[in-house]
Chains A and B, each alone.
Chain A
């Protein structure tokens, strides 16, 4: 273990947070927050044990026994990841109005998901995204490819979550980042292995309550403490946004200080709120491309789609989206509160450069909120990352065990073998995710956005056309998938090249128009057009599939 630790210390970046020691925002082991975290995690594990999966149907789809509101809460909990809890405020803190493209993208996508897919996906009656792809496009190879894509997307998405878990464990336990990722990752892995999706779904409802409460309580305190309309902080912070734009002089809020003794004051900073401020380096194109990519990615994410399999019928799937979106918005309306207070409270250069991804917690600390409540906030951040990671690991394990192993490799596999394979693949995924998370490639929300663009370029076109156009056939699906994957590959190649400071041909053009966080803006339409053209030119979809679409999906 010690050797492993030394290896990690040698090869992985040691610190993510760079807050100055003198500010004491990091500090050492925090007893109160640690107790809160342990209590919450124990609660999750207990619930997981009580509601643990008993067979494969339970494991994959929670026995299809979840109500609309319950499913909505599970959707919200599953959705509200570290990217929502920590990452959105980080983006708004760093790039102002541009960060709102993530808020809009991650909520607006549910409208698309509802009106285009939710009910139909449920009626199709499959367990996983790869199941749908394999059956709809009558191809074992596409099923396998779909499963591999689902696994890759789940891993990409979960990297950001492990990053968030690592940051919060680091803050609470006072240990270094790689060790925090290993400990946090081990806990989430243990929980997922114990429970399966039934436990996960039940847990998600509890997690939602914890996540939203822990996010809301410090927000009320901050708005009340700094003299804004605290009864509805989601509206009350508007005046704080305007204050940042106009500047707050010491005399205006005299007597109000942050925990370091700095006045609650800031120079005029319109770049925080004005659209596409030049200092952020972001343009309207970026805003639109990110929002669009995130929205279509939402409708193509395996672990989101999978949520619709756990409700009894299609109308429940539709209404669960409404409830889910409402529950999600409660957090999304609140996230900017932390960024705006973070901007004001950290505006003195003495505070130093703060790690943006931890700005939610730092803001509460700088606002001199009670340490136990800050601890609850950090535990909420862990819960957010935890709930999503569980869903992702289950989705990835389902793709491997159900779609690859049972449907392609060993159709005769017994249920017990399936469960074991699912658990083995869960462990393998967790190890891969932890290793990538330690590389600290980008902000949490940006890492998650990569997964969205990948889903938008690959799975979304297959579902959209697969449901709504019987003319889309196997050849078209393969061609579309190749087109979408090609765009993905180009974008990610340039991302990695930039990371290692390699300059590839057309570097400026590609990195501007095919940025890793938003390449689906062009990749998805290209995949759809390619699918349509090739489908038109090749042999028609078999009658059995068309018949199934009409009789089962659209009736």
Chain B
């Protein structure tokens, strides 16, 4: 009976205790298995745990090790142009480059309201530098028409509102060197504030910070390699890791079932 029971270990201990063996043997420790089943289970668990941990956290460490801050093209164009604007040495191209970059930043959906308003001020300021006084007055009137119409409408398809936006695009987009049929022109038509006369000192400070914040990204070959359409790191984390978790779980169950079959180990049913 001892040798039979020895296969699944735990019942060995039960048998021994019924025969007044030292009670010290009634001890369970994951790291000190006393039976063959416990030993196999421990080893399997440790292996799977290591695989699990490396797959999840090891990959994030890799991402961190290889990452480099990379600026978007818009930021690369913005920085020298903005410096020239601040130093008073800017030409029309600088105003346009800075303006285009800020309009692009206004398309970032995670901007806060305060950040969006700062960029609005910045774009308005650039326009005020490239338009004549008369054109600027006209543009301000047209922008006011768009913004006040927006307050009244119940649908964005409102024909007057759509037409008013087109008027703004026709004047503001070429001034900043933006094509009228582009996404940036669309953003410009809804992103201007009524007041384009100037910019606060606070916003002058804020704008480069906002641009830096939203247009610098941690990239590496792990993020730039494309797999099945995905950036690789995204595919790995969002798709592959989940498949791996299921495989790990399936493998554990399969191995434990096989182990139990090999040891003739029957689990209780209540």
Residues of chain A having any CB pair with chain B under 8 Å: 21-24, 64, 94-95, 97, 100, 103-104, 107-108, 110-112, 114-116, 119, 123, 125, 229, 234-236, 238-239, 241-242, 245, 247, 249-250, 260-263, 265-271, 273-280, 284, 287-288, 291-292, 312-315, 318-319, 321-322, 325-326, 329, 332-333, 336, 343, 346-350, 353, 468-471, 543, 546-547, 549-551, 553-555
Indicate which residue in B26, B56, B235, B242 contacts A547 across the interface (CB closer than 8 Å): B26
Tell me how far the C-beta of A527 lies from the nearest C-beta in chain B, rounded to whole angstroms: 17
Having A21-B154, A239-B230, A250-B182, one finds 14 other A-B pairs with CB under 8 Å, namely: A64-B270, A107-B241, A112-B52, A250-B183, A260-B156, A268-B74, A271-B110, A271-B217, A274-B217, A278-B213, A288-B60, A329-B245, A348-B107, A469-B28
- B237 at interface (Cβ–Cβ under 8 A)? yes
- B214 at interface (Cβ–Cβ under 8 A)? yes
For residue A554, which residues in chain B have a CB less than 8 angstroms away from its CB?
Answer: 10, 28, 38
Contact A547 B17 (CB under 8 A): yes
Indicate which residue in B28, B156, B227, B243 contacts A23 across the interface (CB closer than 8 Å): B156
* Nearest A-chain residue to B157, judged by Cβ: A261
Contact B30 A555 (CB under 8 A): no
Contact A348 B238 (CB under 8 A): no
Contact B110 A287 (CB under 8 A): no
In angstroms, Cα B154 to Cα A235, docked, is: 38
With A262-B186, A322-B253 given, is the CB distance from A245 to B28 under 8 Å? no
For residue A115, which residues in chain B have a CB less than 8 angstroms away from its CB?
Answer: 44-45, 48-49, 252
In angstroms, Cα B238 to Cα A291, docked, is: 13
For residue A249, which residues in chain B have a CB less than 8 angstroms away from its CB?
Answer: 182-183
For residue A95, which residues in chain B have a CB less than 8 angstroms away from its CB?
Answer: 110
- B13 at interface (Cβ–Cβ under 8 A)? yes
- B104 at interface (Cβ–Cβ under 8 A)? yes
Indicate which residue in A325, A348, A553, A555 contacts B249 across the interface (CB closer than 8 Å): A325
Indicate which residue in A278, A322, A470 contacts B28 across the interface (CB closer than 8 Å): A470
What secondary structure prevails in chain A residues at the interface with B? Answer: helix
Sample 29 A-B pairs with CB under 8 A, ordered by A number: A24-B154, A95-B110, A97-B233, A115-B44, A238-B227, A238-B230, A247-B183, A250-B181, A250-B182, A261-B157, A267-B104, A268-B104, A269-B107, A278-B212, A278-B217, A284-B63, A312-B270, A313-B267, A318-B256, A322-B250, A325-B249, A326-B246, A329-B246, A349-B191, A468-B28, A469-B28, A550-B26, A553-B28, A554-B28
Contact B217 A277 (CB under 8 A): yes
Tell me how far the C-beta of A344 lies from the nearest C-beta in chain B, rounded to whole angstroms: 9
For residue B204, which residues in chain A have a CB less than 8 angstroms away from its CB?
Answer: none
Tell me how far the C-beta of A23 lies from the nearest C-beta in chain B, rounded to whole angstroms: 7
Tell me how far the C-beta of B18 lies from the nearest C-beta in chain A, rounded to whole angstroms: 11
Contact A22 B267 (CB under 8 A): no
- B264 at interface (Cβ–Cβ under 8 A)? no
With A260-B156, A550-B14 given, is the CB distance from A242 to B246 under 8 Å? no
- B64 at interface (Cβ–Cβ under 8 A)? yes
Indicate which residue in B17, B29, B253 contacts A114 across the interface (CB closer than 8 Å): B253
Tell me how far the C-beta of B188 lies from the nearest C-beta in chain A, rounded to whole angstroms: 10
In angstroms, Cα B230 to Cα A312, docked, is: 42
* Nearest A-chain residue to B223, judged by Cβ: A274
- Give the 6 A-B CB pairs with smallest separation, nearest first: A555-B10, A238-B230, A238-B229, A267-B107, A239-B229, A468-B30
Report B32-73 CB contacts with A as 1/0, cut-off 8 Å.
000000100000110011001000110010011001000010
Contact B49 A315 (CB under 8 A): no
Contact A543 B241 (CB under 8 A): no
Total A-B contacts with CB atoms under 8 angstroms apart = 246
With A100-B237, A470-B29, A554-B38 given, is the CB distance from A288 to B252 under 8 Å? no
Contact B241 A108 (CB under 8 A): yes
In angstroms, Cα B156 to Cα A95, docked, is: 28
For residue B260, which residues in chain A have a CB less than 8 angstroms away from its CB?
Answer: 315
- B219 at interface (Cβ–Cβ under 8 A)? yes
Interface centre among A107, A261, A325, A348 (most CB of B within 10 A): A348
With A97-B237, A103-B238, A242-B230 given, is the CB distance from A270 to B72 under 8 Å? yes
With A238-B230, A312-B270 given, is the CB distance from A22 to B153 under 8 Å? yes
In angstroms, Cα B92 to Cα A66, docked, is: 74
Contact A546 B242 (CB under 8 A): no
Interface centre among B49, B52, B217, B257 (most CB of A within 10 A): B217
Contact A104 B56 (CB under 8 A): yes
Interface positions of B from 68 to 107, Cβ below 8 Å from A: 72, 74, 104-107
In angstroms, Cα B28 to Cα A266, docked, is: 59
Tell me how far the C-beta of A235 lies from the nearest C-beta in chain B, rounded to whole angstroms: 6
For residue B48, which residues in chain A have a CB less than 8 angstroms away from its CB?
Answer: 111, 115
In angstroms, Cα B216 to Cα A456, docked, is: 35
- B190 at interface (Cβ–Cβ under 8 A)? yes
In angstroms, Cα B246 to Cα A332, docked, is: 13
In angstroms, Cα B250 to Cα A84, docked, is: 23
Interface positions of B from 91 to 150, Cβ below 8 Å from A: 104-110, 113, 116, 150
Tell me how far the C-beta of A36 lies from the nearest C-beta in chain B, rounded to whole angstroms: 25
Contact A284 B64 (CB under 8 A): yes
Indicate which residue in A236, A245, A260, A314 contacts B267 across the interface (CB closer than 8 Å): A314
For residue A471, which residues in chain B have a CB less than 8 angstroms away from its CB?
Answer: 27, 29
Contact A114 B38 (CB under 8 A): no
Contact A347 B218 (CB under 8 A): no
Contact A108 B108 (CB under 8 A): no
Tell me how far the C-beta of A530 lies from the nearest C-beta in chain B, rounded to whole angstroms: 18
